[in-house]
Amino acid sequence: MLALWHWQQIIHEGVSGKHLTHHKPTSTTQTMTNNFNQDSILYYPTIEFQDETWVKSALTFWDKVYRIVPRGYSPNDSDEIYIAKKEGLIEDINLSADDLKKTADEFENFCENLDDLPAGLDSSLYEVRLHSDKIDERLKPFFAQFSKSIDRDGFYKIPERIANGYMFFLSDTVSKKRNIAKLTDNPDMFAAMSYFDAEGDFDEWFTNENATDIYTTLVIENLIPADIRSISITKIIELNKHLSQYKKEFRKNVSEFNDKLSKIENKEFAIKEIAKFKKEISEVNVGRFEVLKTYINELRPSLLYVGLPVCAASLIGSIYSTKDEMFSIMIEVGKGIVLGGIASFGNAGKDIRKRWTSNRSNYYLALRKQLTSGDNSSIKITDMNRRLEEFIND
């Protein structure tokens, strides 16, 4: 495992021994309006989308998907993705010098102040590509030491987990500067990003039942066309015109619930807010279903995961019967809506929760394998508690 002190040393000194500017720890929170209330989302951590069916499904929630693409690089896109981009449903973000500097600052500050390096940032796994234009000049010596050379397209070939660790910071910087929320198609990336969203402040016991604040996952089931894999992007565009109002209401409801629940410290108020959210989502889904069944013969569920911090006191008696349940089970708070604890916060949990806004949340859209590969498999809720623990400890 790459030791923490070695990360800190090479970030400060680089391979040339040149000392980098130190920065005092700063909060990564920026005051902004709700991201999820907007019509766009930022895809991470890769340039190319891994599956066009997933992109079509994401477009039934958002009107546009952004991605980070280095200047001068042409992504290897499928015909459907090319059409979606031409129609304005997908848009590339080219990085500015300020994006790179801000990311370098955050990356350096984070590594400077870690007591323990997450195992998920171990450099021992196989290599992937990271484009040099995504890296600030002062961090290039750090990444260059892991790569023998830069290929003709400008990519370093470095250990996957180191590349992903940096991409978490880069995605977060782009998200905040442009007021666009983050979305991934990978449950491990979602779990790892939760660690960074929580500023690495998880309790040493990870699932401490006596913790006052915990990081949770809200999971919402939503229906999408069963044959979405074979539906053309042109038809998806047409369908979305009819879904527009329901998509907007859905985003608004999720955003407001996220903001409110993270601040509530009283179980009676939590019960009222949960009941309101259940009613709102139910009404939106009824309208969405009516539109979909007019155009689609068969529907299948997808799951949208949303990360947010909550006060433990507001959950005991409102969602959970006992403290033992907080990290052991997912509780159904409404039809197609469940909530479960991922990890307990450390000393800074309350401060992080008080500063929280829904624009900081991280999202993961999960599809049934049947939708993407034809396999007749059911969709199951992913144990994010276990995946985050593996990222930190394994």
* SS3 per residue for the chain: CCCHHHHHHHHHHCCCCCCCCCCCCCCCCCCCCCCCCCCEEEECCCCCCCCHHHHHHHCCCCCEEEEECCCCCCCCCCHHHHHHHHCCCEEEECCCHHHHHHHHHHHHHHHHHCCCCCHHHCCCCCEEEEEHHHCCHHHHHHHHCCCCCECCCCEEEEEHHHHHHHHHHHHHHHHHHHCCEEEECCHHHHHHHHHHHCCCCECCCCCCCCCCEEEEEEEEEEEEECCCCCCCHHHHHHHHHHHHHHHHHHHHHHHHHHHHHHHCCCHHHHHHHHHHHHHHHHHHHHHHHHHHHHHCCCEEEEEEEEEEEEEHHHHECCCECCHHHCCCCCEEEECCEEEEEEEEECCCHHHHHHHCCHHHCEEEEEECHHHHHCCCCCCCCCCHHHHHHHHHHC
> For the chain, which residues score pLDDT lower than 70?
1-37, 111, 113-128, 136, 138-146, 148-149, 161, 369-379, 394
CA atoms within 13 A on the CB side of 11: 25
> Any idea what the Cα angle at residue 124 is, between residues 206 and 95, rounded to 5°?
85
Confidence at residue 15, expressed as pLDDT on a 0 to 100 scale: 34
Cα distance between residue 44 and residue 29, in whole Å = 19
> Any idea what the Cα angle at residue 238 is, between residues 234 and 240, rounded to 5°?
115
Confidence at residue 319, expressed as pLDDT on a 0 to 100 scale: 87
Pairing of strands 181-184, 362-367: parallel
Confidence at residue 199, expressed as pLDDT on a 0 to 100 scale: 82
Cα distance between residue 123 and residue 116, in whole Å = 15
Confidence at residue 180, expressed as pLDDT on a 0 to 100 scale: 83
Cα distance between residue 56 and residue 231, in whole Å = 9
Cα distance between residue 378 and residue 394, in whole Å = 28
Kindly report the backbone phi and psi dihedral angles of residue 2, in degrees, each rounded to the nearest multiple of 5, phi listed first.
Answer: -70, 115
Confidence at residue 119, expressed as pLDDT on a 0 to 100 scale: 59
Scan for tokens 């280095």, then name that residue: 70
Give one word for 339, left, alpha or beta, with left for phi > 0 and alpha for psi -120 to 50. Answer: beta
Q: Could you tell me the two tokens for 118?
A: 């997450």
How many angstroms from the chain centroid is the CA of residue 62? 15
Cα distance between residue 258 and residue 111, in whole Å = 29
Kindly report the backbone phi and psi dihedral angles of residue 171, in degrees, each rounded to the nearest multiple of 5, phi listed first.
Answer: -60, -40
Biggest CA–CA distance in the chain, Å, is: 65
Confidence at residue 8, expressed as pLDDT on a 0 to 100 scale: 40
Confidence at residue 265, expressed as pLDDT on a 0 to 100 scale: 95
Task: Give residue-wise pLDDT tens across range 356-381.
Answer: 888 777 899 998 754 444 444 456 88
Cα distance between residue 2 and residue 117, in whole Å = 9
Burial of 308 (0-12, 13-18, 19+ CB in 10 A): buried
Confidence at residue 80, expressed as pLDDT on a 0 to 100 scale: 94
Burial of 145 (0-12, 13-18, 19+ CB in 10 A): exposed
